[in-house]
Amino acid sequence: MIDISSIANIPPFIIYFLGAALLPLFGKGSARKVYLILLAVVGLIGVVVLEQHVGWVFAVLPGLDLTFLYVDRLSLIMGYIFAIIGAAAILYSLDIVKENGELMCGLLYLGSAMGAVFAGDFFTLYIFWEIMAFASLGLIWYTRTERATNAGMRYILFHLFGGCALLAGIIINYMSTGAISLVPGALGIGHFPVEMGIGYFLLLIGIGVNTAFIFLHTWLPDSYPKATLAGAVFMCVFTTKTGVYVLARTFPGAKLSLFFGDGIPFIAYIGGLMCVYGVVFALLQNDVRKLLSYHIISQVGYMVAGVGIGTYIGINGGIAHVFNHILYKALLFMCMGAVIYSTGRRNLTDLGGLARKMPVTTITCIIAALSISGVVGFNGYVSKGMIIHAAELSHMHILALVLMLGSIGTFLSFLKLTYFTFFRRNDEIEAKEAPIFMLIPMCVVAFLCVAFGVYPKMLYEILPYKAVALHYDAFALAHTVGTLELLAMTAFMFFAFRVLIMPHERITYDIDYIYRKAGRGIIWFCEKPLTAFANAMDSGVHRLTDSAVWFSRNPAAASIVLITATCTKLRNPFGSEDNGQERDLKEEKPQLVDEPMEKLSIGAGVMIVLLFFAIYLIVMFIHGWLAP
C-alpha cells in the first residue's frame, strides 16, 4: 500500500500546468473525459498531501529568491477550496466544452491561482497573477461573439492596469522596506511590512482591481456574463478570491490616519460599501449571470470587511466566507449555466416555469440561494455571522448594520432570481434537465453547502486561527432567531412588493459608463486635436528643412534676401504685404538664390580655416590662463 503522505511537496500549479500541456494528446472523445477526471483527482490529492513548509526556492539575483511553494494554514485552506471547486468545474465542463483550448485556459487559470496562493514571495505571486489574467481572458474570448471580444478587451485592459500598479507597488515597497517574502515566520499571517506612501497605495490599487473594490469593479459584471458557460464557473472562483487572499496577507486591519484619532480601518468600510453597492445593482439586473456577477462584488465585500476588521475572528470570518462563497457561487453559476444550456435564454423576463422541467437544477439552485442569503443551516450563515460578530466585537456597529443590510438585499435578490427563473408561470418555455456530468458536480457542491452549514466545525478545523474559530458559536439562540426574523420579514416584503422588483429589459448604467465616455473622449482627443497638432508640427518641420535647404544653396545671396526682407518689414511694420517692394522681393528671392555663388580658391579656403583654428586656440589659451 502506498502511503500518499510520504509524497514530496509538489507545488500544485505544476499538476495543472502539466495537465493543460498534455490535454491535446487525448483528442476530444472519451479518453479526454477519463484524463480530465484523473487530473481533477490528482489535483485534489496534490493539495491534500501538502505539509506546512517552505520549498522550491530559486535564487534569481543576489538577495532575491523566488519561492514557488509556501504552505501555511491560510494558503492551505485556499488550496483546498480551489482544488475542490476546480475538480467540480472540470467535471462540469466534460460534456459542454468542445474545444481543448478552452479547457486548457481553464486549467492554466486554476493552476495559476494555485501558484498565486502558494507563492512565498511577491514576485512569484505577480508572475501567477498575470498568468491568471491572460488565462481567464481565453475563457471570455472562447464565446466567440463580438460582445465577448469587446468585453475581453476591457477586462484585460483593467487587469493590465492592476498588474502594473501591483508591480510598481511591490518594487517601491521593496526599495523602501526590503520586504519581498510573504513568509511571515513567527509573527503570523498578515505581518508583511508595507510602508505608507505611493507604494502602499499602488499595492492597494493592484489588489483592489482583482478584489473588485468599488470604482475598480466594472470589469467583473462586464465580462463574467459573457464568458462561456463552463468558463464562468472557473471565473467566479479564482480572481477575486486570490485578491482577498493577498489582502489578508498584506492589509489585515489596515488603518488610515485622517486628521484626528488613531485612524479608521478603511478596508473594512470599503468592504461594507461593496456589500451594499453590489446588492443594489444586482437587484436591477435582468441577465441572470450579470445578477450573479454583481453578487460576487457584494459577497467579496463581506470578505474584505472581515479582513479589514483585522482581528483573529475577523480574518477567520473573511477566509471562511471565501471558502463558503466559492462553494455556493460556483453552484449558482453552474445552475444558471444549466438553465442557459437547456433553454438558450438568459434573461429573467424570458424564463420561468422550469421547476418541473429541471427539478435537480431547481433544488440545487435553491440550496445555493439559501446559502448565499445566510439562512440558518446553510454554509453562508456561519461565515456571515462570524464577520458581523467580529464587527460588533470591534465596536464597528455601523459596519455590522451595513453587513446585515447586505443580507437583506441578498435574500431579496435571490428570491427574485429563483422565483422568476423556476416558479413564475411560463407555458411557452421548453427545457429538459441538464446532462449528467453537469448535475453530478452541482449535487456534490450543494451537499457541501449543507454539510458545512450544519456541521461548521469541519470548516473551523482548517481556518487560519483554529483555536479562535472553535470558540465561535454559530448557532447562538439570539443570533439564530434574529437572522430568521430578518429573513422572514424580507420574504414577506418581497411577496408584498413583488411588482416593484419585477425584472425589466433595461440597461443599467454603472460607473463604467463614465469610463467608457472618458475612453471615447481620449480616442477623440487622439484622433482630432492631437492629430491636428502632429500635422502642424510635421508641416512646420518640413518648412524649416525647406528653408535650410534654400539657405544652404547660396548662403550669401540668401542672407542678402533675408536682410532686405527684414529691413523692409522694420521700415513699414504695419504695411500691407502686397506693397510693391515686398512683391519685388518675393520675385527676386528665387532668382538671387539660384545665381551661381562666387567661388574662392583652395588657398583662400585653407586660410579661412586656419584663421578660425587660430581664434579657437587663442580662446582656449585665454580660458586656461584665466582658470584658477
Partner 1 sequence: MIGKILKIVLVGIAVVLGVALVLFMYDEHIMGFYLVFGMVGVGLFLVAMQILSLIQREGQQDD
- Asked if 505 interacts with partner 1 (CB under 8 A), we say yes
- Asked if 273 interacts with partner 1 (CB under 8 A), we say no
Describe the crossing of helices 312-343 and 379-393 by its angle, rounded to 10 degrees. Answer: 150
Nearest Cα to 463, choosing from 311, 314, 300, 320?
320
Q: How far is the CB of 398 from partner 1 (least distance, A)?
A: 9
- The CA distances from residue 606 to 552, 600, 602, 611, 626, in Å, are 20, 10, 6, 8, 30
Q: How far is the CB of 322 from partner 1 (least distance, A)?
A: 25
Residue with cell 441538464: 434
Describe the crossing of helices 229-250 and 73-96 by its angle, rounded to 10 degrees. Answer: 170
End-to-end alpha carbon distance in the chain = 90
Nearest Cα to 306, choosing from 410, 212, 383, 405?
383
Query: 177: number of CA atoms within 13 Å, CB side?
Result: 18
Q: Which is nearer to partner 1, 452 or 494 (CB)?
A: 494
| Neighbour-count burial of 88, counting CB atoms closer than 10 A to its CB (0-12 exposed, 13-18 middle, 19+ buried) | buried
Q: Which is nearer to partner 1, 175 or 488 (CB)?
A: 488
Total number of residues that touch partner 1 (CB under 8 A): 41
Q: Which is nearer to partner 1, 42 or 405 (CB)?
A: 405
What single letter denotes the amino acid at residue 281? F
Q: Specify the stretch interacting with partner 1 by CB under 8 A; choose among 10-18, 108-116, 299-307, 489-497.
A: 489-497
Q: Specify the stretch interacting with partner 1 by CB under 8 A; choose among 82-90, 293-301, 407-415, 564-572.
A: 407-415
- The CA distances from residue 306 to 286, 385, 503, in Å, are 30, 11, 32
Contact flags string 56-85 toward partner 1, x per CB under 8 A: ------------------------------
- Asked if 487 interacts with partner 1 (CB under 8 A), we say yes
Single residue of 160, 168, 486, 565 touching partner 1 by CB under 8 A: 486
Within 8 A by CB and 6+ apart from 405, the residues are 275, 276
User: What distance lies between CA 354 and its chain's CA centroid?
Assistant: 34
Q: Specify the stretch interacting with partner 1 by CB under 8 A; choose among 83-91, 120-128, 276-284, 531-539.
A: 276-284
Take residue 307 and report the three cell numbers written for it. Answer: 479582513
Q: How many angstroms separate the CA atoms of 83 and 270, rounded?
A: 29
Take residue 22 and report the three cell numbers written for it. Answer: 498534455
Point out which residues pair with 59 in neighbouring strands: 65
Q: How many angstroms separate the CA atoms of 571 and 582, rounded?
A: 12
CB–CB of 458/449 below 8 Å?
no
Single residue of 100, 150, 176, 568 touching partner 1 by CB under 8 A: 150
CB–CB of 225/289 below 8 Å?
yes
Q: Which is nearer to partner 1, 83 or 387 (CB)?
A: 387
- Asked if 501 interacts with partner 1 (CB under 8 A), we say yes
Q: How far is the CB of 486 from partner 1 (least distance, A)?
A: 4
Q: How far is the CB of 144 from partner 1 (least distance, A)?
A: 16
Q: Specify the stretch interacting with partner 1 by CB under 8 A; choose among 112-120, 259-267, 487-495, 603-611.
A: 487-495
Q: How many angstroms separate the CA atoms of 13 and 110, rounded?
A: 8
- Asked if 336 interacts with partner 1 (CB under 8 A), we say no
- The CA distances from residue 167 to 199, 381, 593, in Å, are 10, 37, 60
Q: How many angstroms separate the CA atoms of 439 and 594, rounded?
A: 90
Q: Specify the stretch interacting with partner 1 by CB under 8 A; choose among 62-70, 176-184, 499-507, 545-553.
A: 499-507
- Asked if 397 interacts with partner 1 (CB under 8 A), we say yes
By CB under 8 A, what part of segment 120-149 binds partner 1? 147
- Asked if 482 interacts with partner 1 (CB under 8 A), we say yes
Q: Specify the stretch interacting with partner 1 by CB under 8 A; choose among 96-104, 235-243, 249-257, 478-486.
A: 478-486
Take residue 62 and report the three cell numbers written for it. Answer: 543576489
Q: Which is nearer to partner 1, 59 or 500 (CB)?
A: 500
Residue with cell 476591457: 154
- Asked if 489 interacts with partner 1 (CB under 8 A), we say yes
Single residue of 45, 153, 160, 404 touching partner 1 by CB under 8 A: 404
CB atoms near residue 607 (< 10 Å): 12
By CB under 8 A, what part of segment 545-604 binds partner 1? none
- Asked if 280 interacts with partner 1 (CB under 8 A), we say yes
Nearest Cα to 109, choosing from 74, 168, 155?
155
Single residue of 220, 494, 557, 593 touching partner 1 by CB under 8 A: 494
Q: Specify the stretch interacting with partner 1 by CB under 8 A; choose among 62-70, 362-370, 450-458, 481-489.
A: 481-489
Q: Which is nearer to partner 1, 65 or 392 (CB)?
A: 392
Q: Which is nearer to partner 1, 352 or 409 (CB)?
A: 409
- Asked if 499 interacts with partner 1 (CB under 8 A), we say no
Q: Which is nearer to partner 1, 348 or 367 (CB)?
A: 348
- Asked if 49 interacts with partner 1 (CB under 8 A), we say no
Nearest Cα to 78, choosing from 273, 242, 270?
242
Q: Specify the stretch interacting with partner 1 by CB under 8 A; choose among 31-39, 54-62, 278-286, 536-544.
A: 278-286
Single residue of 173, 211, 218, 483 touching partner 1 by CB under 8 A: 483
- Asked if 627 interacts with partner 1 (CB under 8 A), we say no
510: which DSSP letter? -
By CB under 8 A, what part of segment 177-236 binds partner 1? 222
- The CA distances from residue 557 to 547, 561, 600, in Å, are 13, 6, 15
Q: How many angstroms separate the CA atoms of 251 and 254, rounded?
A: 5
- Asked if 279 interacts with partner 1 (CB under 8 A), we say yes
Q: Specify the stretch interacting with partner 1 by CB under 8 A; choose among 174-182, 507-515, 539-547, 592-600.
A: 507-515
Single residue of 100, 490, 564, 568 touching partner 1 by CB under 8 A: 490
User: What distance lies between CA 604 and its chain's CA centroid?
Assistant: 74
CB atoms near residue 254 (< 10 Å): 22
Q: How far is the CB of 99 from partner 1 (least distance, A)?
A: 24
By CB under 8 A, what part of segment 412-431 binds partner 1? 412
Chain residues in the site for partner 1 (CB under 8 A): 147, 150-151, 222, 279-281, 283-287, 290, 347, 397, 401, 404-405, 408-409, 412, 481-483, 485-490, 493-494, 497, 500-501, 504-509
